[in-house]
């Protein structure tokens, strides 16, 4: 089995900290640009105090001044009538003017803060409120805006960090999941994944009616290879079988496995009998030619038959396939034997490779 070190499987903590520091630096730069843009935009907008002064000037100072000008220049025949008309007009306009003044002085800023908070609630943490340069004596609304900008910056930074951490966690989960179902020497799926996959695939094939084939493989005289050439040669033979199975099957449709030792399996889907036998023959020939130690393969082949196989289907299919493999080994090895009920005409007997294959 392949040894996986902690350094290979778990990312370096220093790299993670450096990535987090780079992320914080990038976020700080963006915040500085946002504040600079806010100062540029905010410098053109008067503050609450300036707007209140303007409203008081228009309400308190401008009407008496206008009335005095009209009286002094004789433009008004009756000052008393003018004042009465002015009072009636003021009473009629006090409600709409008060609303307009409130919106001009305060409610506009509150509406902007409310829209900003709504954007944060939607996850728009990049948003910033426009602000003037910071002064020593600022009103509470301006301080609130600055605090909200810093809050948005902090949440955005934390979200970026958490997103990176979540992506790294998911990557580790996929990595360890692959390790838990993969054989390290051959790169094939392991016995655990075989035991978990075959029952589900058998049930699915039985329900859909699509063909499902199981091939069990055994390396002939594998112990002799180990005894004569050593265990490194045996590992090379197993690795050659892994490459042969990967090269001879369809990715995404077929699934090759190493069950343990020199035993392998392949699940073939959606193939007629002739095609399944052709795949098994191709594996046998390619494996014999893939290594220099003279190792060969015996292959047993069986197709799921829901009408004949008893539940659980996976066990019944495996038993028939194992019996076919036993017949291939008993015939001298280096052969493909299909279950008699699944083989096409004249395909039930052992099929030996031709000379020079």
Of 68 and 17, which is predicted with more confidence?
A: 68
Is 50 exceeded by the pLDDT of residue 38? Answer: no
pLDDT digits (tens, 9 = 90+) for 99-121: 777 666 667 778 888 888 888 88
pLDDT digits (tens, 9 = 90+) for 176-206: 877 788 998 999 999 999 999 999 999 999 9
Active site residue 262: yes
| pLDDT given for residue 91 in this prediction | 72
Domain at 191-352: CATH architecture: 2-Layer Sandwich (3.30)
pLDDT digits (tens, 9 = 90+) for 114-142: 888 888 888 888 888 887 787 766 677 77
Q: Rounded to whole angstroms, how far apart are CA atoms 256 and 239?
A: 13
Is 60 exceeded by the pLDDT of residue 331? Answer: yes
Domain ranges of the chain: 8-161, 191-352
Question: Of residues 109, 262, 334, 339, which has the active-site annotation?
Answer: 262
pLDDT digits (tens, 9 = 90+) for 15-32: 544 544 554 555 555 545
Whether 45 and 130 have beta carbons less than 8 Å apart is answered as yes
Q: Rounded to whole angstroms, how far apart are CA atoms 86 and 250?
A: 92
Report the predicted TM-score, pTM, of the whole model to 2 decimal places: 0.56
Average pLDDT, the chain: 80
């Amino acid at each position: 089995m392949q040894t996986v070190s902690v350094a290979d499987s778990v990312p370096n903590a220093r790299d993670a900290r450096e990535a987090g520091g780079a992320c914080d630096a990038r976020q700080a730069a963006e915040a500085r640009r946002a504040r600079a843009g806010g100062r540029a935009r905010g410098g053109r907008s008067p503050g609450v105090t300036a707007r209140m002064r303007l409203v008081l000037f228009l309400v308190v100072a401008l009407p008496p001044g206008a009335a005095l000008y009209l009286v002094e220049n004789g433009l008004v025949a009756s000052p008393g009538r003018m004042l009465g008309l002015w009072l009636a007009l003021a009473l009629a306009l006090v409600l709409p003017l008060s609303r307009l003044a409130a919106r001009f002085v305060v409610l506009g800023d509150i509406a902007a803060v409310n829209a900003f908070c709504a954007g944060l609630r939607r996850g728009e943490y990049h948003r910033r409120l426009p602000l003037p340069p910071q002064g020593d004596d600022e009103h509470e609304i301006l301080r609130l805006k600055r605090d909200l900008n810093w809050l948005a910056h902090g949440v955005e930074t934390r979200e970026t960090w958490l997103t990176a951490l979540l992506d790294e966690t998911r990557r580790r989960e996929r990595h360890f999941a692959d390790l838990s179902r993969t054989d390290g020497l051959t790169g094939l799926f392991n016995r655990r994944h075989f035991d978990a996959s075959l029952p589900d695939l058998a049930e699915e094939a039985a329900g859909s009616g699509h063909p499902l084939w199981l091939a069990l493989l055994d390396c002939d005289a594998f112990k002799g290879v180990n005894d004569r050439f050593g265990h490194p040669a045996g590992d090379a033979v197993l690795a050659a079988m892994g490459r042969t199975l990967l090269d001879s099957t369809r990715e995404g449709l077929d699934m090759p496995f190493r069950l343990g030792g020199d035993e392998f399996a392949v699940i073939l889907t959606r193939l007629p009998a002739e095609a399944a036998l052709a795949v098994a023959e191709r594996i046998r020939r390619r494996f014999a030619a893939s290594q220099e130690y003279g190792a060969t393969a015996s292959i047993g082949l069986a197709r799921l038959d829901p009408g004949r196989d008893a539940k659980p289907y996976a066990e019944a299919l495996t038993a028939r396939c194992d019996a076919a493999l036993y017949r291939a080994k008993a015939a001298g090895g280096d052969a493909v034997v299909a279950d008699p009920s699944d083989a096409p005409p004249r395909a039930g007997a052992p099929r030996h490779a031709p000379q020079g294959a």
